């Protein structure tokens, strides 16, 4: 009578998205110790666009429907600027509908604007390495620029174009790396990467799709009392393989 883990089926909720946008935010730290946004860059199809503020970026995004926007480290950083914009613009309610947030352990996995189906996500949760390593491991063309971020304030004053190019280059690395990893996963397992929010969920769904049968080797979803009963037998110990 126990419920069991089911076979993998592709999530229809993610198949409705038409395109993916790759984005990056550059900031400087002001005298109060807070981050001020100096530019936001995106790659949207063949277009590369740099905005001077989050306001300009969001005004552009809110005219689009059915897209996923990936920031690298969105959950712990970039999401704060998006939420600040949404909270500060109450009049947007009719435009964007409900704002649905998936959050765990103070990390935001997704912000979904329900009406125009715009999903902001964190690519770091599914490729949990730095942009520099993404460039080295997945990219044939792009690499993250070697840049001393302690000098960002100086470049914002003296060479703003360099800052914009830096922001855009991060988007290029993310786009090429994400698409390469997505191709590998789709080729080997026929799973579209954008249907997964995290690397553990991807691994679990690969297991459910390729190596698990709910008919011959079912794994039960234990109710709380059964789970607690089983856990009484846990004795600990070292489980690593050397």
pLDDT the model gives residue 202: 95
Going by the DSSP 8-state scheme, the letter that residue 78 receives in this structure is: I
Average pLDDT value over all residues in the chain: 91
Enumerate residues 6+ apart whose C-beta is below 8 A from 23. Answer: 40, 41, 42, 43, 57, 69, 70, 71, 78, 171
Taking the C-alpha atoms of residue 119 and residue 127, their distance in angstroms, rounded to an integer, is: 18
The pTM is what? 0.88
Phi, psi of 39 (to 5 degrees): -170, 155
> Shortest CA distance to 180 belongs to which of 127, 132, 144?
127
In this model, does residue 233 exceed pLDDT 80?
Answer: yes
Of the CA atoms within 13 Å of residue 61, those in its CB half-sphere come to 32
> Shortest CA distance to 152 belongs to which of 168, 163, 165?
163
In this model, does residue 12 exceed pLDDT 90?
Answer: no
Q: Stretch 46-53: mean pLDDT, rounded? A: 95
Share of the chain above pLDDT 90, in %: 67
Beta strand 47-51 pairing with 35-44: antiparallel
Q: Are 131 and 144 in contact (CB under 8 A)?
A: yes
> Shortest CA distance to 123 belongs to which of 27, 207, 199?
199
Which residues make beta-bridge pairs with 108?
Answer: 103
In this model, does residue 158 exceed pLDDT 80?
Answer: yes
Which residues make beta-bridge pairs with 69?
Answer: 21, 120
Specify burial of residue 72 (Cβ count, 10 A radius: 0-12, 13-18, 19+). Answer: buried
Phi, psi of 221 (to 5 degrees): -95, 100
Of the CA atoms within 13 Å of residue 68, those in its CB half-sphere come to 22
Tens digits of residue pLDDT in 102-155: 999 999 999 999 888 999 999 999 999 999 999 999 999 999 998 888 888 888
Confidence of residue 235 (pLDDT cuts 50, 70, 90): confident
By mean pLDDT, which of 15-29, 36-50, 64-78, 215-229 is the weakest?
Answer: 15-29
H-run or E-run covering 121: strand 118-122
Enumerate residues 6+ apart whose C-beta is below 8 A from 54. Answer: 25, 37, 40, 81, 82, 84, 85
Taking the C-alpha atoms of residue 107 and residue 91, their distance in angstroms, rounded to an integer, is: 27
């Amino acid at each position: 009578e126990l419920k069991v883990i089911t076979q993998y089926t592709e999530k229809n909720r993610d198949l409705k998205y038409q395109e993916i946008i790759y984005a990056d935010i550059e900031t400087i730290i002001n005298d109060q110790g807070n981050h001020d946004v100096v530019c936001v860059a995106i790659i949207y199809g063949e277009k590369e666009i740099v905005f001077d503020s989050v306001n300009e970026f969001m005004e552009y995004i809110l005219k689009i429907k059915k897209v996923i926007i990936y920031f690298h480290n969105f959950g712990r950083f970039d999401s704060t600027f998006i939420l600040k914009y949404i909270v500060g613009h109450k009049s947007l309610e009719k435009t964007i509908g409900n704002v649905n947030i998936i959050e765990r352990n103070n990390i935001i996995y997704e912000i979904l604007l329900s009406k125009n189906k715009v999903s902001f996500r964190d690519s770091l949760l599914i490729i949990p390495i730095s942009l520099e390593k993404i460039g080295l491991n997945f990219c044939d063309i792009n690499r993250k620029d070697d840049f001393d971020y302690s000098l960002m304030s100086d470049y914002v004053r003296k060479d703003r174009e360099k800052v914009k190019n830096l922001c855009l280059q991060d988007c290029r690395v993310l786009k090429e790396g994400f698409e390469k990893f997505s191709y590998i996963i789709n080729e080997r397992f026929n799973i579209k990467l954008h249907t997964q929010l995290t690397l553990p969920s991807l691994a679990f769904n690969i297991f459910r799709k390729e190596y698990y049968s709910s008919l011959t080797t079912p794994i039960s979803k234990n109710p709380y009392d059964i789970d607690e009963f089983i856990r009484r037998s846990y004795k600990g110990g070292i489980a690593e393989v050397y």
